[in-house]
């Protein structure tokens, strides 16, 4: 005998809850509301006790708007209850099946409870990290936000440059955002000031702020871009119809560059903290021994997986990662290859994809599998996703299982072993040399066919 409590969480208003009898699926009593406060949880537990029999267990199912689920899950788990979260896809389909187009808070709470009752495989138990794992999770998430902000800010800087001097954004080797490029943008966003400065003095200015030898070709392209920009806007200036003021734009660009450098400092500090915590949690760098995985990706994988024991099988781990292909079949007819499901943790998928993009360049079996997929007509992205699902994820799963067992038994922590295609152990350097010798000259056309 068991009860299921579905809770539709809210950020600003009280949460809605309903109670179902697991065996019958019938709602017990009326729905009620409570808040994330001591009084609110007292009300929740009292409501449950009034309808609960002595031998009945209670499971909770919640959704996840923002981070509003964290205090609710933490209190419920601290009181010994199991807490689950279904996939967004399953919630949507279950609600549509039972209530058509209707959607209310009570319907959502009822839908969450029915997800656990009818689709337990699509409803995963909530994992909350603790101690150093919790600290690492916070820092990794914070770094992800800083990196995303950096990408947007760099795009904003390029957009501002595109408005006043379109040719600058086309200079190769990332000139705009390197040390010399940033110094140039802080002083000479107005192309007329560059022409007044002259090519020779511009070269001296850049040379002082560039660690490497500045190529004459690059200097010529910068100066020519400024000349073209002045010529482009000549008629617009003569008509007194300029769409922006260069001084205001220079101030805005300087502010953007200040924020960019500040965020880069924050990113570097967070990465340093990530490495320290990684070393504390994994003194032997076992996860980093995997191909394509360094400290940042190792921390991301560790925080997304949490406790590896919550995945009894590799299939459940694959379902959590969301890299398995969709299927559409009826009778004897099967559809052509379908896209991956994308029905799980987006952060985890990103970490795995980034790891696989490097892993097939170092691991011999992954390289063979990647090039086999490419010769079969798959694009680079499709082949990398296939490497994740078929090769990298099973290795991560097995290594983390062995690490967990080694912690229990207090034995030596295992490391990843590189092997050749016959299964014999080899060094990482030997694996890289074999990959280069076998596939180093292979390239792929736009039609994804291999040519040597």
User: Model confidence over 268-306: pLDDT tens digits?
Assistant: 999 999 999 999 999 999 999 999 999 999 999 999 998
Confidence of residue 83 (pLDDT cuts 50, 70, 90): very high
Region 79-107: what's the mean pLDDT? Answer: 84
Q: Which residue has the higher pLDDT, 103 or 158?
A: 158
Confidence of residue 352 (pLDDT cuts 50, 70, 90): very high
Region 123-131: what's the mean pLDDT? Answer: 86
Confidence of residue 337 (pLDDT cuts 50, 70, 90): low
Task: List Cβ neighbours of 385 (8 Å cut-off, separation of 6 or more).
Answer: 323, 340, 353, 356
User: If you average pLDDT over every residue of the chain, what do you get?
Assistant: 88
The rounded distance, in Å, linking the Cα atoms of 398 and 351 is: 18
- The pLDDT score that the predictor gives to residue 62 is 93
The domain ranges of the chain are: 2-128, 135-270, 283-451
- The pLDDT score that the predictor gives to residue 378 is 87
Q: Which listed CATH number (2.40.440.10, 3.40.50.300, 3.30.420.10, 3.20.20.70) goes with 2-128?
A: 3.30.420.10
Whether the pLDDT of residue 215 is over 80: the answer is: no
- The pLDDT score that the predictor gives to residue 330 is 72
The residue written with tokens 């699509």 in the block is 122
Region 314-320: what's the mean pLDDT? Answer: 85
Rounding to the nearest 10 degrees, give the CA dihedral for residues 315, 316, 319, 323: -50
The rounded distance, in Å, linking the Cα atoms of 202 and 86 is: 60
- The pLDDT score that the predictor gives to residue 126 is 86
Element (H, E) at 400: helix 393-409
Q: What is the SS3 assignment for 275?
A: helix
Q: Name the percent of the chain lying above pLDDT 90.
A: 57
- The pLDDT score that the predictor gives to residue 452 is 40
Could you read off the pLDDT of 372-395 as tens digits, one per residue? 999 988 889 889 999 999 999 999
Least confident of 52-56, 211-215, 414-418: 211-215
- The pLDDT score that the predictor gives to residue 341 is 64
Confidence of residue 343 (pLDDT cuts 50, 70, 90): low
Element (H, E) at 205: helix 199-208
Whether the pLDDT of residue 192 is over 90: the answer is: yes
Confidence of residue 232 (pLDDT cuts 50, 70, 90): very high
Evaluate whether 419 touches 391 at the Cβ level (below 8 Å): no
Q: Which residue has the higher pLDDT, 358 or 446?
A: 358
- The pLDDT score that the predictor gives to residue 69 is 87
- CA nearest to 59, candidates 83, 31, 25, 26: 83
Alpha-carbon distances, residue 89 vs 31, 117, 122, 218, 304 (angstroms): 24, 16, 9, 51, 20
Element (H, E) at 163: helix 131-164
Whether the pLDDT of residue 450 is over 50: the answer is: no
Confidence of residue 447 (pLDDT cuts 50, 70, 90): low
């Amino acid at each position: 005998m068991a009860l299921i409590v579905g809770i539709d969480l809210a950020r600003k208003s009280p949460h809605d809850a309903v109670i179902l009898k697991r065996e019958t699926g019938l709602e017990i009593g009326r729905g009620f509301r409570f808040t994330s406060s001591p009084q609110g949880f007292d009300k929740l537990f009292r409501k449950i006790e009034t309808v609960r029999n002595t031998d009945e267990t209670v499971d909770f199912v919640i959704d996840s708007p923002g981070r509003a689920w964290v205090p609710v899950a933490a209190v419920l788990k601290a009181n010994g209850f199991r807490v689950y979260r279904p996939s967004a896809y399953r919630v949507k389909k279950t609600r549509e099946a039972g209530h058509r187009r209707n959607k209310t808070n009570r319907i959502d709470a009822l839908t969450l409870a029915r997800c656990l009752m009818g689709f337990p495989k699509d409803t995963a138990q909530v994992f909350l990290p603790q101690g150093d794992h919790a600290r690492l999770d916070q820092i990794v998430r914070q770094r992800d936000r800083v990196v995303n902000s950096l990408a947007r800010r760099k795009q904003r800087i390029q957009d501002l440059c595109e408005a006043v001097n379109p040719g600058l954004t086309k200079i190769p080797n990332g000139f705009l955002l390197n040390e010399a490029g940033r110094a140039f943008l802080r002083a000479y966003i107005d192309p007329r000031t560059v022409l007044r400065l002259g090519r020779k003095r511009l070269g001296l200015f850049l040379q002082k702020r560039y660690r490497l030898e500045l190529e004459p070709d690059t200097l010529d392209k910068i100066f020519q871009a400024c000349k073209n920009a002045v010529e482009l806007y000549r008629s617009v200036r003569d008509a007194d119809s300029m769409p922006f003021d260069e001084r205001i734009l220079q101030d805005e660009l300087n502010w953007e560059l200040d924020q960019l450098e500040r965020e880069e400092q924050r990113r570097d500090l967070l990465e340093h903290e990530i490495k320290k915590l990684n070393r504390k949690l994994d003194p032997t760098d076992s996860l980093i021994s995997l191909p394509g995985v360094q400290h940042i990706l190792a921390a991301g994988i560790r925080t997304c997986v949490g406790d590896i024991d919550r995945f009894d099988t590799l299939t459940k781990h694959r379902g959590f990662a969301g890299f398995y292909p969709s299927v559409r079949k009826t009778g004897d007819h099967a559809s052509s290859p379908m896209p991956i499901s994308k029905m799980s943790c987006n952060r985890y998928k990103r970490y795995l994809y980034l790891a696989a993009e490097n892993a097939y360049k170092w691991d011999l079996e992954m390289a063979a599998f990647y090039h086999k997929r490419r010769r079969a007509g798959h694009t680079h992205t499709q082949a990398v996703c296939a490497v994740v699902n078929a090769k990298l994820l099973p290795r991560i799963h097995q290594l983390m299982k062995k690490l967990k067992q080694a912690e229990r038994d207090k034995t030596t922590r295992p490391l990843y072993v590189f092997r050749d295609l016959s299964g014999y152990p080899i060094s990482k350097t030997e694996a890289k040399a074999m990959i280069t010798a076998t596939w180093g000259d292979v390239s792929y056309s736009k039609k994804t066919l291999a040519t040597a």
